[in-house]
Structure 1
């Protein structure tokens, strides 16, 4: 009697069998023959296709160092990493090279091998990339035609042309870097499909000529915006000690090139807000405006924002935690939102004192609110009274003074509302209308 081999089974049976294997065993099966490789690809794509494959600090080890964290796959040994890319690269859609505190020479060589395998086995299939380690892009020579979004840490404008060549169909670009004057010493370029652009500034060298760097920065960003007027989203944030990328003056000077922007996020500091606030910046298509107000060098920002929007629907503002230093914050806040009564989504973050907020005025200013998110503590009765002021409300995120009362609060609201915890440590909850 002839013995049946595993590979004689049909694909449905093979998939059902491989479904029970851990990732390392699934890799070994995929590495054994073409038929099992195909079945393993189907299983991996179904179970892990939406997850990010993340490479941390890699080790050359006989141990298989694989773990799951926040739903993603984290690989920390070179053998598993290379095997995963070689055997299942066609069904890996998201890859991350995690940022490392120290990058030793052996780690750089490991990165070179990993990047070479990514380029060889994933280039035609990868959709998202997060490259937080220096030099990874240098090892790529084959383009990634399906990749739509990338994040590059310490990305320099000198790499922009390389990025365009490697990722010709890029739709979302996030650049993070530590301040470096060489960042600006090149020409900007046009990305025909680019819709979303994010700049994160992480720091700067206090010894360098900050004014000189700021001028170079403004020139390069200005040129980039001129060449990419099709942008729909612009996100500018700075953790640096100096001024952020885009000052109000720079936005004002390039406003004609920003008229397609629908979502605008600005990390504003006093120096960017105080300049010529009476000269209004008009942006006709912005629907979402998110701003974070930061203090710098003992100066405090203001909410007197010199913007005018025709279609604003969502406003998200994060005042500094030391809001007591902003005596005019709420007056400025209301003066701003009074101009946009059609706002339906409001968020106020990093603020916990409800006594200074004029809720009656908020009701009059924004009668169409559907979603409200505020970092303010409410008791059960206060939450019910607050929600009654907004008849169109469908989602309310807030801090509940006692988490144990969430179920009781939902009972009082009736079957139309459901509640859940969003952030237990801060007692942050969400109430959502379901009918």
Structure 2
């Protein structure tokens, strides 16, 4: 069969040689009388050369280029990536190695910190920590249900374990500032995260529950510790709940800022250990404690021996502040920021405060017109003044104090029935314009109910001397019948 097919094809080709070319392939002669001539065999190669010339001519013409994102240089890519949010940068980092490196570099330049919430989803938090955990130096993770009732459920415990595991796995030694809100931390979890906590310089625990947890892992490097509304639990009993905190405070070497707010039933032994921190510069103690007047008078004067203290914020729980202030003045402690709350202020305490000439920020409760006038005239370095009183300070007393406080730049008043009128504004503006040194005063007052101040009557040119802001607090009256 194969031989027959070959013979048939060959005979057909031989017959086609004698026949003339069809009309489409025939070349017409210059004169119409001459018969058409057959194309030479070289025409096929000539047509191929002509096609190459046409292709070369088309390629020489300017055409529209189809560029890819990776065709851009690093400067253009960096400019594009710097306009993206962390989630978008995370998506870009998961495409290829080059974009991953560029996205991490752009994140380190623009953000430098990572704020995460569990409402974003656990998978999204894991992706962000995996891509940018090694580049961030400040990390904040907030649990969506940050209340003590929800912290006791097993779901919160499981999420806390996962998040701490990811922090240890993906964050490196450059993580120096960590904030955890709404976490439930147990002793085994803290032991696993010991390596990461050992390099921290700032630790903030907000609305957390600690079960037999110790902070000794970060005693060598921790400089700032904030405990806000933290509940301690111990398997040894109620009397031992603050034993881990007490052990950390006794061994902390470089701690320079300590804040304990909202913690209940803090024993006096913790206050006694705090008073022995020689390097402490900032101290905030606002919580509830159950002590007698005798114990309070014995322990509180120990704070006056802290020579490096510059910021002192203390809730005195209804006790007198005379012993503390008198000790600070006697030891020549240069306090620049002083806040005393829930304490009666008699004339002796006010006189001791007036002798602290280094005060720049002052916040006191239960003041009257005579007290603020004396403080404004005696404290020459006073720049910020926070006043919280019960209908004792009047607008006339504020203007009289403002005449004496030559360097005052910020004034905040929190009183239930304080009335700020246009006449008071004009008097304060007149005082600010007559100062030798041109300083702008930011005045903030709180009102409860309807808004009082209308800034339409204020000229824009007066903003460089006096700026007025009103904080309106709305509340509902519930009548029990």
**Cα deviations across residues 169-226 of structure 1 (Å, max 9, x unaligned)?**
322111233475323335333433322111113334xxxxxxxxx6xx2223322331
Query: Would the alpha carbon gap of residues 335 and 251 (structure 1) be closer, same or farther in structure 2, given more than 3 Å must change?
Result: farther
Larger radius of gyration: 2
CA separation in 2, counterparts of 1:353 and 1:260? 35
Is 1:79 matched with 2:123? yes
Residue equivalent to 1:69: none
Residue equivalent to 1:44: 107
Residue equivalent to 1:55: 117
CA separation in 1, counterparts of 2:321 and 2:453? 45
**Gap regions ≥5 residues in structure 2:** 1-58, 60-64, 233-237, 475-481
Q: How far 1:85 sits from its partner (Å)?
A: 0.5
Q: How far 1:288 sits from its partner (Å)?
A: 1.3
Q: How far 1:415 sits from its partner (Å)?
A: 6.6
Query: Would the alpha carbon gap of residues 203 and 191 (structure 1) be closer, same or farther in structure 2, given more than 3 Å must change?
Result: closer
Is 1:382 matched with 2:424? yes
Counterpart of 1:345 (choices 377, 380, 384) is 384
Counterpart of 1:312 (choices 356, 359, 362) is 359
Residue equivalent to 2:141: 96
CA separation in 1, counterparts of 2:472 and 2:321? 38
CA separation in 1, counterparts of 2:440 and 2:405? 14
SS of 1:236 mapped into structure 2 = strand
- Scaled by the length of structure 1, the TM-score of the pair is 0.71
Query: Would the alpha carbon gap of residues 337 and 159 (structure 1) be closer, same or farther in structure 2, given more than 3 Å must change?
Result: farther
Do the aligned partners of 1:290 and 1:316 also contact (CA within 8 Å) in 2? yes
Counterpart of 2:241 (choices 166, 175, 183) is 183
Structure with greater proportional helix content = 2
Residue equivalent to 1:66: none
Q: How far 1:8 sits from its partner (Å)?
A: 5.0
CA separation in 2, counterparts of 1:156 and 1:129? 19
Counterpart of 1:290 (choices 332, 335, 339) is 339
SS of 1:309 mapped into structure 2 = coil
**Cα deviations across residues 333-361 of structure 1 (Å, max 9, x unaligned)?**
66666653443332213656653863475
Is 1:193 matched with 2:254? yes
Is 1:160 matched with 2:215? yes
Query: Would the alpha carbon gap of residues 281 and 344 (structure 1) be closer, same or farther in structure 2, given more than 3 Å must change?
Result: same
Q: How far 1:142 sits from its partner (Å)?
A: 1.6
Query: Would the alpha carbon gap of residues 82 and 279 (structure 1) be closer, same or farther in structure 2, given more than 3 Å must change?
Result: closer
Residue equivalent to 1:111: 160
CA separation in 1, counterparts of 2:254 and 2:440? 35
Structure with greater proportional strand content = 1
Do the aligned partners of 2:286 and 2:315 also contact (CA within 8 Å) in 1? yes
Using CA pairs under 8 Å that are at least 6 residues apart, name the structure with larger relative contact order, 1 or 2.
1
CA separation in 2, counterparts of 1:193 and 1:358? 44
Is 1:232 matched with 2:293? no
Q: How far 1:82 sits from its partner (Å)?
A: 0.8
CA separation in 1, counterparts of 2:199 and 2:324? 43
Q: How far 1:141 sits from its partner (Å)?
A: 2.6
Q: How far 1:424 sits from its partner (Å)?
A: 5.8
- Scaled by the length of structure 2, the TM-score of the pair is 0.65
**Gap regions ≥5 residues in structure 1:** 57-74, 205-213, 295-300, 320-327, 427-435
Counterpart of 2:270 (choices 210, 220, 225) is 220
